[in-house]
Amino acid sequence: MRNSDSTKPRRRLLASIHDVSPLFEAAVDRLFDRLQGHLGSARFAMLVVPDFWDQAPLSRAPGFRARLRGWADDGVEMFVHGWNHRDDQVHSGRWASFKARRMTAREGEFLGLDAAEARRRMREGRAIIEEAIGRPVAGFIAPAWLYGEGARRALAEENFALAEDHLRVWRPSDGAILSRGPVITWASRSRARRASSIGFAGLARTLLRPIPVVRLAVHPGDAGCPTLMASIDRTVAAFSAGREPARYRDLMGT
């Protein structure tokens, strides 16, 4: 017996702009315009860094704070995206060291923090962003999607509604997984990374078509690379056909 339309999983597209900071305002503007042009609304997320690499404190950028509030008023979900997005830890353990070296360029800020320091950064970042946008944040997403054990404990204790990593979206309060599937993202650091991310996006446009929820993430560095932007355009267009642009909170039925 076939499922009725009412019992089929909703087909959704979750798009997000990472590393939102006064340091990258022009690039964020370009990415915002590009996503809004494809999706027809501001139904996507922004991941805000309170002080990117200790070079751009949001607390001292009243103009950018006002823009964040305006975007939030228009429907953009705002996430806390670490504190400074920089990993200054010395990692012990082969797996943690591998992730710190190979999966990011010293940007896995929450990979090596203990729970107390992770809580402090989460709380202070949340306070700054919520003061700017005038409402609760949607959740917390670690820089480079990398969490150590301390960060995972702090997440649950800080009562963030949502979190995500490379492969899933979950509810930190009880660990409930709300969506599974790899996030599609692009890398601008080197020619090899650009080529591999474009290749993965091309495969994903076919291989991920059956899954109910597709996630796309773009970064300020993408905005300066025409080949990456062309790949982003193709990928957003491919997945927005037949899917509703959604917000993360839609995964919780709210």
Query: pLDDT (tens digit, 0 to 9) for every residue of the chain, 254 residues total?
Result: 444 455 567 899 999 999 999 999 999 999 999 999 999 989 999 999 999 999 999 999 999 999 999 999 999 999 999 999 998 755 555 544 444 444 445 678 999 999 999 999 999 999 999 999 999 999 999 999 999 999 999 999 999 999 999 999 999 999 999 999 999 999 998 899 999 999 999 999 999 999 999 999 999 999 999 999 999 999 999 999 989 999 999 999 85
C-alpha to C-alpha distance for 132 and 59, rounded to whole angstroms: 8
pLDDT recorded at residue 7: 57
CATH architecture of the domain covering 11-252: Alpha-Beta Barrel (3.20)
Q: Other C-beta atoms within 10 Å of 140: how many?
A: 27
C-alpha to C-alpha distance for 25 and 47, rounded to whole angstroms: 13
- What one-letter code names the amino acid at 240? S
Residue 220 near residue 28 (C-beta atoms within 8 A): yes
| pTM for the structure as a whole | 0.91
- Strand 163-164 relative to strand 168-171, pairing: antiparallel
C-alpha to C-alpha distance for 187 and 130, rounded to whole angstroms: 29
Closest to 144 (Cα-Cα) out of 199, 219, 215: 219
Placement of tokens 């006002």 in the chain: 66
27, with CB counted inside 10 A (0-12, 13-18, 19+), is buried
Placement of tokens 């959604």 in the chain: 246
pLDDT recorded at residue 95: 46
